[in-house]
């Protein structure tokens, strides 16, 4: 079973604060690292799929970086807004010819942005 860990488990910030959280994953057999955003009462939606060491991806105020050698990725949110409140999940693809897109998810970081 792959070990994908996220920290912190939960985070409370004020509107306008910038914040970041971490996903750690096995550094061997790296293919990709996925980030998903999951709003309450909705379904998870993909934010980024990161593949290259040193990669940085950005979508609006959210960005992510990747370090495959040490096995971690950071997700940053600049100037948090209440609508950023969600659970942020990272996921690590399982290797092997029969795994076909299987992902192991971390337990998520629950972000609450207070107005």
Partner 1 sequence: NAGVTQTPKFQVLKTGQSMTLQCAQDMNHNSMYWYRQDPGMGLRLIYYSASEGTTDKGEVPNGYNVSRLNKREFSLRLESAAPSQTSVYFCASSEARLAGMYYNEQFFGPGTRLTVL
CB of 77 to partner 1, least distance (A): 20
State the burial class of residue 14 (Cβ atoms within 10 Å of its Cβ: 0-12, 13-18, 19+): exposed
Q: Of residues 11-40, which lie at the interface with partner 1 (CB under 8 A)?
A: 31-32, 34
- Does the footprint of partner 1 cover residue 10 (CB under 8 A)? no
Residue pair 87/110 in contact by the 8 Å Cβ criterion: yes
103 makes contact with partner 1 (CB under 8 A): yes
Residue 105 engages partner 1 in binding (rule: CB under 8 A): yes
What residues line the site for partner 1 (CB under 8 A)? 1, 31-32, 34, 42-46, 49, 51, 89, 91, 93, 95, 97-108
């Amino acid at each position: 079973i792959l070990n994908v860990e996220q920290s912190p488990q939960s985070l409370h910030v004020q509107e306008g604060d910038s914040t970041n959280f971490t996903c750690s994953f096995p550094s061997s057999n790296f293919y990709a690292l996925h980030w998903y955003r999951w709003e309450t009462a909705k379904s998870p939606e993909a934010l980024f799929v990161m593949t290259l060491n040193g990669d940085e991806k950005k979508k609006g105020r959210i960005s992510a970086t990747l370090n495959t050698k040490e096995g971690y990725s950071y997700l940053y949110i600049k100037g948090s807004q209440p609508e950023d409140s969600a659970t942020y999940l990272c996921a690590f693809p399982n290797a092997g010819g029969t795994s076909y897109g299987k992902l192991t998810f971390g337990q998520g970081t629950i972000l609450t942005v207070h107005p």
